[in-house]
């Protein structure tokens, strides 16, 4: 019972796998159980380097499978749950919302409820923590011209089936705290970038398409603004919230780097130009403006004053350094992918 076991869900995906690498390095004494369904977005290659360690355990399965989740609790007795598992791509949620409701709402409910039952039965509420990984998208959109930022007190106004499913999960998690006194925490982060991301989201899509000479799709006028957070900074924030956060609270996590999509794409082209010694124009001429996504949120910006003030967390990665590392990582991967047998 005293051994610290973390159940990480969705640990074969982008942020979850980076978090597992982070935790295995920082807390080598912890046991890690990774429950992942291995959808198109999950990739066991993301766990290379940790998957052979004795304190790492992988279970393939769905967070919505109650029997399986109960079995995992009985077998491993996790004291922490970090729930990353989700369908995470807005465009896919517009095409087919149902799986988003199944995984993000129902799945979260199952894992939350099993954790509650298990921790209550074993009198673990005092030391256990359930950390729900959420998103700034639950707050909706801000106008481009405003200076406003979302705080943890901002109303939830999700605009896509994806963000609506994440907001629903947040409300369930909150209700378990209020109703049952369950030890929960929620983090809402801005757009992450970094290694190990499936190349359908903006950063890895642009890098991998550029390297293959394919069009670089930019929605609408390209002026939509996102606040970019290096994935390792998100991991350090999640770590601090898990260990020091106040039960029942929500913490925003942002990088303080607001970029227009088109400027970000140009920056990636410039980094690729330096890296491959091809003229930057070769990459920039691939930029193609495409029809805007329906209900496309214009601007997201997060106030991170609370986590700074209460937990002393700050993002540390310089934005350009982080983007350089990310481009280099995908460059190495894409080369091996392009030239494989």
Ligand X SMILES: NC(=O)c1ccc[n+]([C@@H]2O[C@H](COP(=O)([O-])OP(=O)(O)OC[C@H]3O[C@@H](n4cnc5c(N)ncnc54)[C@H](O)[C@@H]3O)[C@@H](O)[C@H]2O)c1
What residues between 193 and 252 interact with ligand X by CB under 6 A? 198
Q: Convert residues 136-175 into a mask of x (bound to ligand X by CB under 6 A) and - (unbound).
A: ------------------------------x---------
Residue 231: CB minimum distance to ligand X, A: 8
Tokens coding 113: 């409820």
Q: What 3-state class would DSSP assign to 81?
A: strand
How does DSSP assign 146-186, residue by residue? Answer: ----B-TTSPP---SHHHHHHHHHHHHHHHHHHHH---EEE
What residues between 17 and 36 interact with ligand X by CB under 6 A? 35-36
**Are 35 and 110 spatial neighbours (Cβ–Cβ below 8 Å)?**
no
Catalytic-role residue among 56, 162, 176, 283 = 162
- Does the footprint of ligand X cover residue 183 (CB under 6 A)? no
Pick from 39, 77, 257, 261: which binds ligand X (CB under 6 A)?
A: 39
Residue 333: CB minimum distance to ligand X, A: 15
Q: Which is nearer to ligand X, 86 or 173 (CB)?
A: 86
- Under 8 Å CB-to-CB from 232, ≥6 apart: which residues? 18, 22, 194, 317
- Under 8 Å CB-to-CB from 206, ≥6 apart: which residues? 216, 264, 265, 268
Q: Which is nearer to ligand X, 191 or 209 (CB)?
A: 191
- Under 8 Å CB-to-CB from 135, ≥6 apart: which residues? 163, 166, 188, 189
Site size with ligand X, rule: CB under 6 A: 31
Residue 320: CB minimum distance to ligand X, A: 19
- Pairing label, strands 258-260, 225-230: antiparallel
Tokens coding 191: 């757009």
What residues between 61 and 120 interact with ligand X by CB under 6 A? 62-64, 84-88, 103, 107
Task: Kindly state the greatest CA–CA separation across the chain.
Answer: 64
Residue at token pair 């350090």: 236
Catalytic-role residue among 87, 137, 170, 232 = 137
Decide if 137 is catalytic: yes
- Under 8 Å CB-to-CB from 145, ≥6 apart: which residues? none
- Does the footprint of ligand X cover residue 15 (CB under 6 A)? yes
Q: Which is nearer to ligand X, 202 or 272 (CB)?
A: 202
Eight-state DSSP code of residue 270: H
Pick from 8, 42, 128, 326: which binds ligand X (CB under 6 A)?
A: 42
Q: Convert residues 294-313 into a mask of x (bound to ligand X by CB under 6 A) and - (unbound).
A: --------------------
Pick from 77, 192, 208, 252: which binds ligand X (CB under 6 A)?
A: 192
Eight-state DSSP code of residue 336: H
Q: Which is nearer to ligand X, 22 or 125 (CB)?
A: 22
Residue 132: CB minimum distance to ligand X, A: 8
Residue at token pair 């290096």: 230
Q: Could you give the angle at which helices 202-211 and 261-276 cross, rounded to 10 degrees?
A: 40
Eight-state DSSP code of residue 292: P
- Site residues (vs ligand X, CB under 6 A): 9-10, 12-16, 35-39, 41-42, 62-64, 84-88, 103, 107, 133, 135, 166, 189, 191-192, 198
Active site residues per annotation:
136-137, 162
């Amino acid at each position: 019972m005293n051994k610290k076991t973390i159940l990480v869900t969705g640990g074969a995906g982008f942020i979850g796998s980076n978090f597992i690498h982070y935790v295995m390095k920082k807390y080598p004494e912890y046991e890690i159980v990774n429950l992942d369904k291995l959808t198109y977005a999950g990739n066991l290659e993301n766990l290379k380097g940790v998957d052979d360690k004795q304190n790492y355990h992988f279970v393939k399965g769905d967070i919505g499978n109650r029997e399986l989740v109960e079995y995992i609790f009985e077998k491993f007795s996790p004291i922490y749950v970090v729930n990353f598992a989700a369908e995470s791509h807005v465009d896919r949620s517009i095409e087919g919302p149902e799986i988003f409701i199944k995984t993000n709402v129902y799945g979260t409910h199952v894992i939350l409820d099993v954790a509650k039952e298990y921790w209550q039965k074993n009198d673990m509420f005092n030391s256990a923590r359930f950390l729900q990984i959420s998103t700034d998208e639950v707050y909706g959109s801000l106008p481009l011209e405003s200076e406003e930022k979302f705080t943890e007190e901002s109303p939830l106004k999700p605009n896509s089936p994806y963000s609506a499913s994440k907001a629903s999960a947040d409300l369930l998690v909150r209700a378990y705290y209020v109703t049952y006194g369950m030890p929960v925490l929620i983090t809402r982060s801005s757009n992450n970038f970094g290694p190990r991301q499936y190349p359908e989201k903006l950063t890895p899509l642009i890098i991998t398409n550029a390297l293959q000479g394919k069009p670089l799709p930019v929605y609408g006028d390209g002026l939509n603004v996102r606040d970019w957070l290096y994935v390792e900074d998100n991991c350090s924030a999640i770590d601090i919230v898990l260990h020091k956060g106040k039960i029942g609270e929500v913490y925003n996590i942002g990088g303080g780097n607001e970029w227009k999509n088109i400027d970000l794409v140009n920056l990636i082209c410039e980094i690729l130009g330096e890296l491959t010694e091809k003229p930057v124009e070769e990459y920039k001429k691939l930029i193609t403006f495409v029809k805007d996504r329906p209900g496309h949120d214009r601007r997201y910006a997060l106030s991170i004053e609370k986590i700074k003030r209460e937990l002393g967390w700050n993002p540390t990665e310089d934005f350009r350094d982080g983007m350089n590392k990310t481009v280099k990582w995908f460059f190495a991967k894409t080369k091996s992918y392009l030239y494989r047998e």
